[in-house]
Amino acid sequence: MSSLTLADAQEQLRSGSLTPRALTESIIAAIEAGDGKIRGYNSFDAEAALAAADTADVSLPLGGLPIAIKDIINVKGEALTCSSKILEGTFTSPYDATVIAKLRAAGAIPLGRTNMDEFAMGSSTENSALGTTKNPWDTSRIPGGSSGGSAAVVSADLALAALGTDTGGSIRQPAALCGCVGLKPTYGRVSRYGAVAFASSLDQIGPMTKTVRDSAMLLNAISGHDAMDSTSLDEAVPDFTAALGKEIKGMKIGLPKEYFIDGIDPEVRAATEAAVKQLESLGAEPVEISLPHTEYATATYYVIATAEASSNLARFEGVRYGHRADAPKDLSDHYMRTRAEGFGAEVKRRILLGTYVLSSGYYDAYYIRAQKVRTLIRQDFSEAFQKVDAILSPTSPVPAFGIGERCDDPLQMYLADIFTIATNLAGICGISVPCGFTKEPKLPIGLQILAPSMQEERLISIADAYEQSTPWHKERPC
């Protein structure tokens, strides 16, 4: 039963051929049997999930459907770790994040906290202090990050679907590397209240699923204005499932020349080019476009994101909650040792970089300049969307790489998100869908589709049309 899509499980629940308890028990059994191989979950509360299943109303939009939750989103009464030693075993969420409250209102059952890069800082899930998640297609390789646990458990059929967060590609990149669907909504479309902040002007919660239809179902449930989030947009929420099954004939699909560059894995390039031809056969028109400030996106992102991270992570000082150093000599020693012991190397690296770019004498040279370049990147997309309906590219320039392969080279690790980070800087929406596999070993390849702000319906229509005309989403790892 854990191999079902959300839509298929919903159909069986409503027909009475399946009960919420039987479905939940099946997923729990799959986790117990299979998660030891991939390490996708940090924890799961089987008793709470089964109790919720026993009272589930299957007539609700997501009634009786268990959903895995990235371990950066608060679920009342459950441990929250952000895959960091500074919170491990010390913090229990006292409230539900808005997305969790919305899932519960729609009848869904939160089940399991998925592994991630510590505080969502990474592209491989190797930065988790609780253990590295492995790619279900090849357990010697990374699943992507930072939502690597969510992607892995969906791909391995240890979850029907999951929530992730995307700050610079952390939903789309692991979805691509694990062969599932990952949707990053428009900034402000989904409330961030209750998600631990990494970079507040970039973070966004979104669905990770087996099909585009499932992503539309989840997005219906979690979208909408929230007074608890000052960045939440007060916009009407359409029925995203109504965008499924639409023709895309006549749509113009932009191919940015800056995204089809040397250095892309040949098999990734070939799969992307084949996807372009497939969309063309469905009536779409490929159009070459330019996003001229793309070359500055990575540097801009790592100035802005680290600056905001430095500020957001200042609250983890061991006074109010979290890890606390033993027998500090004084307050200064307490702060220094607590944070040195609690944070991993990548988090420390980003705090140091962010503090530097915000410091006196460097604020204007780095942070303010990066914000100006961000405006230029946003303008690039605005101008491009005047000519095309959507933009297409590889999600990741390479398939999943080996565990440990890039740990000693942070720059190469950062470049894993080269095609995804500009989306967050511009605040637009994007999705990754499976578009093929490498030959040897067999590894998934993801196709990224981008659309203007608040145009998730268009995004879903194009992604669904492509998905339904290809077989890639039906394949599962052994």
- CA-nearest of 136, 113, 12, 15 to 65 is 12
Which residue among the candidates 123, 124, 128, 146 is catalytic per the annotation? 146
**pLDDT single digits (tens) 426-436:** 999 999 999 99
Q: Are residues 315 and 418 in the same domain?
A: no
Residue 152 has pLDDT above 90, yes or no: yes
- Cβ distance 279 to 392 under 8 Å? yes
For the sheet containing 41-43, what is the strand order? 41-43, 109-114, 66-70, 162-165, 205-209, 181-184, 429-437, 444-451, 390-394, 252-256, 285-289
Active site residue 170: yes
Name the residue with tokens 């298929």. 8
Q: Are residues 440 and 316 in the same domain?
A: no
**Token pair recorded at residue 468:** 């339904």
CATH code assigned at 246: 3.90.1300.10
Which residue among the candidates 70, 134, 184, 210 is catalytic per the annotation? 70
Whole-angstrom CA distances from 252 to 121, 154, 428, 469 are 35, 31, 17, 18
Alpha-carbon distance of 147 to 166, in angstroms, equals: 8
Q: Identify whether 365 is part of a domain.
A: yes
Q: What is the pLDDT of residue 110?
A: 97
First vs last C-alpha separation in the chain:
16
Q: What is the pLDDT of residue 354?
A: 97
Q: What is the pLDDT of residue 234?
A: 96
Active site residue 134: no
Q: Are residues 18 and 113 in the same domain?
A: yes
Q: Identify whether 268 is part of a domain.
A: no
Confidence of residue 409 (pLDDT cuts 50, 70, 90): confident
Alpha-carbon distance of 3 to 158, in angstroms, equals: 8
Alpha-carbon distance of 298 to 413, in angstroms, equals: 12
Q: Are residues 116 and 89 in the same domain?
A: yes
Of the chain, the percentage scoring pLDDT greater than 70 comes to 100
Q: Identify whether 261 is part of a domain.
A: no
Q: Are residues 39 and 135 in the same domain?
A: yes
- CA-nearest of 475, 456, 421 to 212 is 456
Q: What is the pLDDT of residue 387?
A: 98
| Kind plus residue range of the DSSP H or E element containing 349 | helix 345-358
Q: Are residues 63 and 121 in the same domain?
A: yes
**pLDDT single digits (tens) 260-309:** 988 899 999 999 999 999 999 999 999 999 999 999 999 999 999 999 99
**Token pair recorded at residue 132:** 């590295």
Of the chain, the percentage scoring pLDDT greater than 90 comes to 96
Residue type, 373: V
Which residue among the candidates 170, 191, 223, 461 is catalytic per the annotation? 170
Residue 393 has pLDDT above 90, yes or no: yes
pLDDT average, residue stretch 242-270? 96
- Cβ distance 336 to 199 under 8 Å? no
Residue 19 has pLDDT above 90, yes or no: yes
Backbone angles phi, psi at 392, to 5 degrees: -125, 145
From 373, 396, 418, the end of a domain falls on 373
Strands 205-209 and 162-165: antiparallel
From 332, 348, 373, the end of a domain falls on 373
Please state, as a whole number, how many other Cβ atoms lie within 10 Å of the Cβ of residue 10: 23
Q: What is the pLDDT of residue 414?
A: 80
Report the number of secondary-structure helices (H) and strands (E) in the chain.
15, 11
Q: Are residues 351 and 398 in the same domain?
A: no
Q: What is the pLDDT of residue 192?
A: 98
Domain region containing 341? 294-373
Q: Identify whether 271 is part of a domain.
A: no
Q: Give how many domains the chain has, as a whole number.
A: 2
Mean pLDDT rounded to a whole number for the chain = 97
- How many residues belong to the chain? 478
pLDDT average, residue stretch 358-371? 93
Contacts of 440 (CB under 8 A, 6+ apart): none
**pLDDT single digits (tens) 90-135:** 999 999 999 999 999 999 999 999 999 999 999 999 999 999 999 9
Confidence of residue 412 (pLDDT cuts 50, 70, 90): confident
**pLDDT single digits (tens) 164-200:** 999 999 999 999 999 999 999 999 999 999 999 999 9
